[in-house]
Amino acid sequence: MTDVFTPEGLPDRIRHYIDGESVDSLDGDTFEVLNPVTNETYVHAAAGKRADIDRAVAAARRAFTEGPWPRMLPRERSRVLHRIADLVESRDQRLAELESFDSGLPITQALGQARRAAENFRFFADLIVAQADDAFKVPGRQMNYVNRKPIGVAGLITPWNTPFMLESWKLGPALATGNTVVLKPAEFTPLSASLWAGIFEEAGLPAGVFNLVNGLGEEAGDALVKHPDVPLISFTGESRTGQIIFGNAAPYLKGLSMELGGKSPAVVFADADLDVAIDACIFGVFSLNGERCTAGSRILVQREVYDEFVERYAAQAKRVKVGHPHDPATEVGALVHPEHYEKVMSYVELGKREGRLVAGGGRPEGFATGNYVAPTVFADVAPDARIFQEEIFGPVVAITPFDTEEEALALANDTKYGLAAYIWTNDLRRAHNFAQSVEAGMVWLNSNNVRDLRTPFGGVKASGLGHEGGYRSIDFYTDQQSVHITLGAPHNPTFGKR
């Protein structure tokens, strides 16, 4: 094993950012942040509690009620967001380096995520200026129009997979629409989030508009969800945590947007282009270390081509390059944390009883330490198997045969999740009808996960509540006020007149 790579200029500690200042926790508490390649502590981060969340929410509330941000013209806010995008683009190499080091994500994929983060800000900077609202007129009688207004303090809770990009996904529309925010990043990966403060300051975002509190989900995250002055919660994470947030937010009737887990099917029919489908299905589950909510982690293959698909897929999976996250040749790096590594490996061992192991199945050769898992493929997996039903969130895939289109649809829908689906067929009628019937919030036909930022992102069943993306994000982060104007004689029914 080569020497462990450590970026230059790492912080000596990671602090909160509240009301324009970097601060420690009020009680001085910290938690350890691990290097996923060595599982050794490389930095301590401030551990936020209820008091720290109270402090951050108070700052965000002041900035909303007293500051200029919610009252600025959309064009003025747009200029700030474009400057943020410019700064993120100019620092993409540094962002990728820190993200890769902190999360174990391969450096080339981390670079792509950094650039996507810039594009998220640029997209909403443009959208908020171009956005128009409804107006309805009955000539000579009445006119109705819609006012959009920012809601207040948005609580943003983000996961440890591709953290910087997913933070931008929420920060962009929340800020564009004039809200102020409190961000609670994932405790496994707080490093890249700590860069937002400097970027926002340099871009000219007023103090108090952006606040960041690090900490554990059950402490800082729980306090943010339960805070009475936070009317909005946007959460990305696992389904069980989403259920807890739903319950804790209910007494306050908060607005909720939750993108949760997935166990997405990739359905390969016999008439598909197998070369393209195999490439896409390899990338769809092994990119981002398999730690992606939209991973096509259940591959359903029509029996006529099943044996050929399994043989070719397993051979290609064995060629996927596992390596150190900082190596540009690496395709699968280290999983984020030893706790998650143990979870994924427990499913690998389970899969050896539930399916036929055709690739991987343990540590890759040459990686005796760190959170490394060889790309693992199980064939002949029954639909009642746990590796078919449960989200693993790692480089592990289950392949299952089917005979008919009806059977494929039943298998595709046979989980509690419903985030994404991938369909490979050259039958146009089948493609559209299958897409209509599959229980998924997003469907890709003969395509990998390529997303237009104007389209809604979200799932059904246990995969989420609500949608963000494009105008759906604008809807979530704003109140829509309907205004009625009488243009003619008032239409007043008369009560009590003699």
Known catalytic residues are: 259
DSSP string, 342-364: HHHHHHHHHHHHHSEEEE--SPP
Question: Are the beta carbons of 221 and 157 closer than 8 angstroms?
Answer: yes
Q: 107: which residues sit within 8 A by CB, 6+ positions away?
A: 96, 97, 100, 325, 326, 327, 328, 330
d(CA 382, CA 380): 6
Query: What's the one-letter identity of residue 278?
Result: I
Residue recorded with tokens 């981002």:
288
Q: Which two tokens stand for residue 101?
A: 């080091």
Other Cβ atoms closer than 10 A to 246 = 16
Longest CA pairwise span in the chain (Å): 96
Which residues make Cβ contacts (< 8 Å) with residue 9, sequence separation at least 6?
none
| Residue 26 CB partners (closer than 8 Å, separation 6+) | 49, 51, 52, 55
Nearest partner of 114 among 95, 141, 139, 86, judged by Cα: 95
Work out the burial of residue 473: count CB atoms within 10 Å of its CB; fewer than 13 is exposed, 13-18 middle, 19 or more buried.
buried
CB-CB contact of 349 with 383 (8 Å):
no
d(CA 437, CA 160): 32
C-alpha distance from residue 52 to each of 23, 86, 163 (Å): 10, 31, 22
CB atoms within 10 A of CB 342: 11
Return d(Cα 157, Cα 258) in angstroms, integer: 10
Q: What are phi and psi of 436, to 5 degrees?
A: -65, -35
DSSP β-ladder status, 420-424 and 442-445: parallel
Q: Is 4 helix (H, G, I), strand (E, B) or coil?
A: coil
